[in-house]
Amino acid sequence: MPASSPSRADLLGEIGERIIQVFRFLQHEVTVPRAGVIHITRSEADIMRIVMERPGTTVTEIARAFGQHKSNTSTRIAGLVEKGLARKETAASDGREVRVYPTSEAQANLDRFRAVWAEHLGPLTAASDADLVRTAAVLSELADALAAARRPGAG
């Protein structure tokens, strides 16, 4: 009797598991000091992912996303500002609230990390360019949908 094909749920579950496995490796690469790349800690990397995904996110929203105290988050953001990767602005609607934005250097630093990741991942796969295009499209669709679902006011 031939083996049945995995279900959609099984495939999506495996994709999630594999993303986490790859993420662990790529996350480590962010925290390794290297020439030409601004070194950041894991906590700073977590904050930068949110700030890059949602520029103008408040310090309070970032703290809530990680279950951290606002003061701890503010300290980490101050480190990112000092490194030139983030900038803070007072919210127009509430002068007590601070919004955080990525800088152009943050995008340049991310581009440098992407080059590091490509260098590490390239030799590990024999996938065709067409397969890589499809894989990137599916992962982008999932990432965009997850980000949209996490935005304030999302149903």
* pLDDT given at position 92: 76
Q: How many CB atoms lie within 10 A of CB 61?
A: 18
- Whether residue 7 lies inside any domain: the answer is no
Residue with the bigger pLDDT between 118 and 149: it is 118
Stronger pLDDT, 93 or 134, i.e. the higher one: 134
* Confidence tier at 152 by pLDDT (50, 70, 90): low
Task: Identify the helix (H) or strand (E) that includes residue 101.
Answer: strand 98-102
Do 104 and 32 touch, CB atoms closer than 8 A?
no
For residue 155, the model assigns a pLDDT of 54
Q: Domain span at residue 36?
A: 13-124
- Domain assignment of residue 154, yes or no: no
CB atoms within 10 A of CB 58: 17
Average of per-residue pLDDT across 16-30? 89
In degrees, to the nearest 5, what angle opens at C-alpha 106 toward C-alphas 105 and 109?
85
Asked if residue 2 has pLDDT above 80, the reply is: no
Q: Where are the beta strands (DSSP E) in 16-90?
A: 57-58, 86-90
CATH of the domain at 18: 1.10.10.10
Q: What is the mean pLDDT of residues 15-37?
A: 89
**In this structure, is residue 35 part of a structural domain?**
yes
Q: Using CA atoms, how far apart are residues 139 and 22, in angstroms rounded to an integer? A: 13
How many domains is the chain built from? 1
Q: What whole-number distance in Å separates Cα of residue 65 and Cα of residue 130?
A: 35
Stated pTM of the model: 0.81
The Cα 151–Cα 148 span in angstroms is 5
In a domain, 142, yes or no: no
Q: How far is Cα 7 from Cα 152, in angstroms, rounded to an integer?
A: 32
Digit-coded pLDDT (tens) for 65-105:
888 899 999 999 999 999 999 999 987 777 778 899 999 99
